[in-house]
């Protein structure tokens, strides 16, 4: 086969065994990317304390989020021009460099920079892994393989908090602070992925002579960075503060500029607007965004409930979320195998968004202070199943609704919209939770103080003298505000009779957030019915048959 031969079905390029070997490398890369979205969440408090930068901890998360989201469509477009393999290898190397730096930092500012470098690599790991599978595997098998990839996403999103908590809880591992292994653990996994991809992924060389859309890249950066910044920082700044309004304004200017630039760029645009004329591509993009908001926001609430209301440690909460992994494994593999066998995909987003909406409603109506742990555990199974039914079929639908030359753009656009939705949903719902909690806790405490039994415990000298209740009495003195709710580590060591109104306030707030998430996923459920009711067909196979016929 000459280097000029285009990549088509799997059998023409790689044997089944070679495909499986390459898949291992791609899955390791994807595992790194999705693991790093969650592994820092349970260790950041320890890291920030060690680096004397508690007030700067949000920037470490924000930096990763911004660079990974902005770089995703860039990788997609550049891989369509220069080929997947060099871009994927570059993404792994950038991610490893960021991980090595992050594990060696001595300040929170340095950590934010290192996380930004990690994010620049991570943006390519997820989108390009799915794109490469699209290149080397025929459609009839692709759904099945991509189902396994979505399972990796689910497993890593649950393992992250558990592993992060375990490392942060260790004072020293092999001569380094325990938390530094949150980043160093990426090195052996990343090197293994690099070796497999380098030695076994041999796609034909590709260099399409085409302009690179630098203006589009600049405009999308101007649009996304301020909006992600305000989503992450809005709660501490204030949603109507000067900083927030500047971010809103810059975001709107960036969106308008991006649309104008992309329209002018035509075919060489970063995300060609012509793709959105295809109803499957356009609706799938919208669904990815809405599902990202509702679903990832909701997924953030379950661990929050388990830790804040039920008093579980971050590691215990992570282990409880294993039921979520069971759901996503079942959903992804079932959807993948069924689509591979029949080509029918529309039923899965309909089922998935329906299950997500039902799970969010049940969670919003059933979770309280005394709810048994089996209830959130069971709800997590259905959240995972709904996610598995939605993510992979929608990505597949976007891949096959674009011409083969735009495969990278199609796949990265799916990841881009889902990532944007997830960032917005997580930030907005957590801000919503704490804003609601401040009011509900204040109201609950006012009612409790009117109760004679509660007042008797509150005024008991022995209870007041107990050091475990010191911060609780400070809380009563200062009242429930966003600032006083920033540290709740004392909550489950204090007197349970006195903390009950606080726990009830948090539980009621989580319920309200979940019902809001249900409204969003319900909207997505209605939109799924507009998806075309047709079988997915492989454009590469169709092109091959057309050439053979002539």
29 and 119 both lie in a single domain: yes
> 294: exposed, middle or buried (C-beta count within 10 Å: 0-12, 13-18, 19+)?
buried
CA distance 282 to 280: 6
Q: Is residue 302 within 8 Å of residue 379, measured between CB atoms?
A: yes
Model pLDDT, residue 9 = 40
**What is the pTM assigned to this prediction?**
0.79
143 and 24 both lie in a single domain: yes
Model pLDDT, residue 488 = 67
The range of the structural domain enclosing residue 231 comes to 214-269
* DSSP letter, residue 171: S
Considering the domain boundaries, does residue 179 fall inside one? yes
186 and 263 both lie in a single domain: no
392 and 315 both lie in a single domain: yes
Model pLDDT, residue 407 = 79
CATH number for the domain that contains residue 114: 1.20.1250.20
Residue indicated by tokens 């591979």: 340
Three-state DSSP at 33 gives: helix
537 and 419 both lie in a single domain: yes
Considering the domain boundaries, does residue 550 fall inside one? no
> 127: exposed, middle or buried (C-beta count within 10 Å: 0-12, 13-18, 19+)?
buried
Model pLDDT, residue 3 = 40
36 and 165 both lie in a single domain: yes
CA distance 481 to 510: 17
Please compute Rg for the chain using Cα positions: 24
Considering the domain boundaries, does residue 134 fall inside one? yes
- Where a domain ends, among 456, 475, 493? 493
* DSSP letter, residue 489: T
123 and 255 both lie in a single domain: no
SS3 content of the chain, % helix, strand, coil (to 5): 80, 0, 20
Model pLDDT, residue 204 = 62
8 and 157 both lie in a single domain: yes
Mean pLDDT for each 10-residue chunk of the chain (550 residues)?
Answer: 39 66 85 80 73 67 81 85 88 94 89 91 85 78 72 74 77 82 90 88 65 81 83 74 90 91 81 86 90 75 82 75 83 84 87 94 89 89 90 83 80 83 78 81 79 76 76 69 60 77 87 91 93 72 49
Considering the domain boundaries, does residue 84 fall inside one? yes
What number of residues does the chain have? 550
Model pLDDT, residue 56 = 65
Q: How many C-beta atoms surround the C-beta of residue 14 within 10 A? A: 21
- Where a domain ends, among 168, 184, 210? 210
Structure tokens at 294: 């509702």
Considering the domain boundaries, does residue 122 fall inside one? yes
Q: Is residue 323 within 8 Å of residue 336, measured between CB atoms?
A: no
Considering the domain boundaries, does residue 150 fall inside one? yes
412 and 442 both lie in a single domain: no
> How many domains, in total, are found in the chain?
4
Considering the domain boundaries, does residue 274 fall inside one? no
Model pLDDT, residue 14 = 65
486 and 505 both lie in a single domain: no
50 and 145 both lie in a single domain: yes
Structure tokens at 542: 């169709």
Q: Is residue 418 within 8 Å of residue 290, measured between CB atoms?
A: no
- Write out the E strands in 126-270: 172-173, 176-177
What are the residues whose beta carbons fall under 8 Å from the beta carbon of 163, sequence distance 6 or more?
Answer: 35, 39, 182, 185
Q: Is residue 271 within 8 Å of residue 255, measured between CB atoms?
A: no
Considering the domain boundaries, does residue 419 fall inside one? yes
402 and 520 both lie in a single domain: yes
């Amino acid at each position: 086969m000459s280097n000029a031969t285009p990549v088509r079905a799997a059998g023409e390029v790689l044997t089944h065994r070679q495909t499986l070997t390459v898949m291992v490398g791609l899955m390791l890369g994807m595992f790194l990317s999705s693991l790093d979205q969650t592994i820092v969440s349970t260790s950041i408090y320890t890291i920030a304390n060690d680096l004397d930068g508690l007030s700067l901890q949000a920037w470490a998360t924000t930096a990763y989020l911004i660079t990974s989201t902005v770089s995703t469509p860039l990788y997609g477009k550049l891989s369509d021009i220069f080929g997947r393999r060099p871009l994927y290898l570059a993404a792994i190397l950038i991610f490893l460099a960021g991980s090595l730096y992050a594990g060696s930092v001595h300040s929170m500012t340095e950590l934010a920079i290192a996380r930004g470098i990690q994010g620049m690599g991570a943006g390519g790991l997820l989108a390009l892994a799915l794109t490469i599978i699209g290149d080397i595997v025929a459609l009839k098998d692709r759904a099945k393989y991509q189902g396994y990839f979505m399972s990796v996403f689910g497993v890593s999103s649950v393992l992250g908090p558990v592993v992060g908590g375990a490392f942060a809880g260790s004072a020293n591992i092999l001569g380094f602070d325990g938390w530094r292994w949150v980043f160093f653990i990426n090195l052996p996994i990343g090197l293994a992925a690099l070796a497999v991809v380098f030695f076994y992924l041999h796609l034909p060389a590709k260099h399409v002579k085409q302009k690179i859309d630098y203006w589009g890249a600049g405009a999308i950066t101007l649009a996304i960075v301020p909006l992600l910044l305000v989503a992450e920082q809005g709660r501490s700044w204030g949603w109507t503060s000067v900083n927030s309004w500047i971010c809103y304004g810059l975001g709107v200017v960036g969106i308008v500029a991006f649309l104008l630039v992309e329209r002018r760029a035509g075919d060489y645009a970063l995300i060609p607007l012509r793709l959105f004329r295809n109803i499957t591509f356009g609706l799938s993009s919208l669904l990815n965004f809405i599902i990202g908001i509702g679903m990832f926001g909701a997924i953030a609430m379950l661990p929050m409930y388990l830790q804040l209301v039920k008093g579980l440690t971050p590691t215990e909460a992570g282990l409880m979320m294993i039921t979520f992994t069971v759901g996503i494994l079942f959903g992804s593999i079932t959807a993948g195998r069924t689509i591979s066998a029949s080509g029918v995909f529309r039923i899965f987003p309909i089922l998935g968004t329906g299950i997500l909406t039902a799970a969010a409603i049940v969670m919003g109506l059933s979770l309280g202070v005394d709810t048994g742990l089996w209830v959130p555990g069971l709800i997590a199974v259905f959240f995972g199943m709904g996610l598995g039914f939605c993510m992979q079929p929608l990505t597949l639908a976007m891949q096959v609704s674009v011409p083969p030359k735009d495969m990278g753009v199609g796949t990265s656009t799916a990841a881009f919209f889902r990532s944007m939705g997830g960032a917005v949903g997580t930030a907005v719902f957590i801000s919503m939770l704490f804003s609601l909690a401040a009011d509900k806790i204040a109201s609950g405490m006012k009612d409790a103080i009117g109760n004679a039994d509660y007042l008797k415990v509150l005024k008991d000298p022995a209870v007041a003298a107990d050091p475990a209740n010191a911060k609780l009495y400070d809380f009563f003195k200062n009242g429930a505000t966003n600032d006083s709710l920033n540290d709740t580590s004392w909550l489950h060591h204090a007197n349970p009779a006195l903390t009950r109104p606080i726990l009830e306030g948090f539980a009621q707030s989580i319920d309200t957030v979940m019902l809001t998430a249900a409204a969003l996923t319900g909207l997505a459920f209605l939109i799924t019915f507009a998806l075309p009711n047709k079988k997915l067909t492989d454009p590469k196979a169709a092109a091959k048959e057309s050439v053979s016929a002539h």
